[in-house]
Chain A
Amino acid sequence: MPPIISISKLSKTYATGHHALKAIDLTIDRGEIFALLGPNGAGKTTLISILCGIVTPSEGEALVDGHDIVRDYRAARSLIGLVPQELTTDHFESVWSTVTFSRGLFGKPKNPAVVEKVLRDLSLWDKKDATIRTLSGGMKRRVLIAKALAHEPRVLFLDEPTAGVDVELRRDMWALVRGLRETGVTIILTTHYIEEAEEMADRIGVISKGELILTENKTDLMTKLGRKQLTLNLQEPLTAVPPQLAGHDLALAKDGSELVYTYDTQGDRTGITGLLTDLAAAGIHFRDLQTKQSSLEEIFVGLVSDRP
């Protein structure tokens, strides 16, 4: 099945001369959750804005379900829902009317049943007659999602969807996103919260200085780039790593009471057996041990900071 989004050599240079995107190539499969990570100013929002029609690309091509976003913009945009980063709502409108407006704007006939379902799914039904300005920030965020879903899009862009929302709402949104994916909606989200990408995404793209520096299946990425650490809680603290253990990648922590061994999960051998043998031979005993895999955040920081 062809990808739902296909981007080829997409570039954007603003009138100021700022080169926000540099020849981006990317495909996104149907029904996947794709997380776009990157520091501030990396080009995440520019990329989303181009795909949604808010920003004009300078070069390159992008197709949404085979429809060119410039030449065939009506067909392309009718498939897309966008939840912007900022809480930009019509403050004086009611929840019901603003969501109904969004459906009409995307050329869909009135369908109160669809609007009701969207509002119920987002726990907004009780607030349907409320004026938006009276809602909390979290509720306003839900309204923006409801507006984006009102025309039943096949692709949903979430630009920093949980920025500034509390933990409970964040969890609710993650559940909502998973629920949408189950109905076949493709979700592309940008986030600063690595935890969010780690929790939800099937695939990760990392963008830095306008360049897509990698796209990778999340699990593969963590396996490939992730390092594991074995921490041994020693019975007796050490002042230095003994010379007979110099062949292992060891470091002391917590005033010598912990010995930390770092190893590559992709290696043929982890070296743990050899280490434990050498520890026993050196007369070093431990009370407890635990292993920890590097988080996506650590991987991300490593990737971005390695860039010139």
Chain B
Amino acid sequence: MNWRAVQAIYLFEMARAWRTVMQSIISPVISTSLYFVVFGAAIGSRIQQIDGVAYGAYIVPGLIMLTLLTQSISNASFGIYFPRFSGTIYELLSAPVSFVEIVIAYVGAAATKSILIGLIMLATASLFVPIEIHHPIWMVSFLILTAMTFSLFGFIIGIWADGFEKLQLVPLLIVTPLTFLGGAFYSIDMLPPFWRGVSLFNPVVYLVSGFRWSFFGKSDVGVVVSLGMTLFFLALCLTGVRYIFKSGYRLKA
């Protein structure tokens, strides 16, 4: 393994986050704070508790998960797409690094950034509502697994995209709606039976549910099922990345 190369890429990507700190870190924190103001304080004060948890606190895991997904995807997709767009990918391809090392570095950096943002959001949320984490190890595990999985997904999007429009397409048109409909702001048990059934096809439900369970010990679906689904998505993304390695898809002629 060329760990020095992994370190170089990782630090380069992290440096990019600090250079664009407004866009990378402050912006998601501000937008999440606004969610707390709107859903937590303004609307939440009129909503009863859900599963015995105050609504303001109930939405915290969902909000963190929403940001974790979108940030993981956008960090990783932009990280690999930009060198392709600018042409600096030549250096990566001509360096003595394997595709595995490239992925570890880019996905590692993207996941680190989104985990940091998730933790900052958690800290921000604790300013608005009292937060209690019943299963901290599970919480960290879900955080890391989800960040890794969706950073891998973002990496695949960054390789697939041939323009900035496509880079935004999947996060905007698929991931964000799925997250909003995935129980980020409500329990799917509140839905009529038909829509609850439909929701179970939404992968984000399992991520939010498992993550919420780690906070409150209560979930829409079993925690083992949530973990299993998260690992399934991880395996799916790894398969996609493996295909890119093997074929050189959109990287090598």
Chain B contacts of A53 at CB under 8 A? 93-94
**Whole-angstrom distance between the alpha carbons of A262 and B158 in the complex?**
61
Is A105 at the interface (CB under 8 A from chain B)? yes
**Whole-angstrom distance between the alpha carbons of A107 and B94 in the complex?**
12
- Interface-forming stretch among B8-16, B73-81, B207-215? B8-16
Is B122 at the interface (CB under 8 A from chain A)? no
User: Chain B contact residues: over half helix, strand or loop, or mixed?
Assistant: helix
Number of chain A residues whose Cβ lies closer than 8 Å to a Cβ of chain B: 34
Which chain A residue lies CB-closest to B253? A55
Complex contact B91–A102 (CB within 8 A)? yes
Chain B contacts of A44 at CB under 8 A? none
Residues 88-128 of chain A, each 1 if its beta carbon lies under 8 Å from chain B, else 0: 11111000010001111111110000000000000000000
Complex contact A147–B86 (CB within 8 A)? no
Chain B contacts of A82 at CB under 8 A? 90-91, 94
Is A31 at the interface (CB under 8 A from chain B)? no
Residues 1-23 of chain B, each 1 if its beta carbon lies under 8 Å from chain A, else 0: 01011011101100110010000
Is B248 at the interface (CB under 8 A from chain A)? yes
Number of chain B residues whose Cβ lies closer than 8 Å to a Cβ of chain A: 26
Most chain A beta-carbon contacts within 10 A, residue among B11, B87, B252, B253:
B253
**Whole-angstrom distance between the alpha carbons of A103 and B96 in the complex?**
11
Which chain B residue lies CB-closest to A103? B8
Complex contact A77–B96 (CB within 8 A)? yes
Complex contact A108–B2 (CB within 8 A)? no
Is A167 at the interface (CB under 8 A from chain B)? no
Min CB distance, A294 to chain B, in Å?
37
Name B9's contact: one of A84, A105, A109, A147 (CB within 8 Å).
Answer: A105
Min CB distance, A234 to chain B, in Å?
57
Residues 272-283 of chain A, each 1 if its beta carbon lies under 8 Å from chain B, else 0: 000000000000
Which chain A residue lies CB-closest to B16? A92
Chain A contacts of B16 at CB under 8 A? 92
Min CB distance, B120 to chain A, in Å?
23
| Residues of A in contact with B (beta carbons under 8 Å apart) | 14-15, 49, 52-56, 73-78, 80, 82, 84, 86, 88-92, 97, 101-109, 147
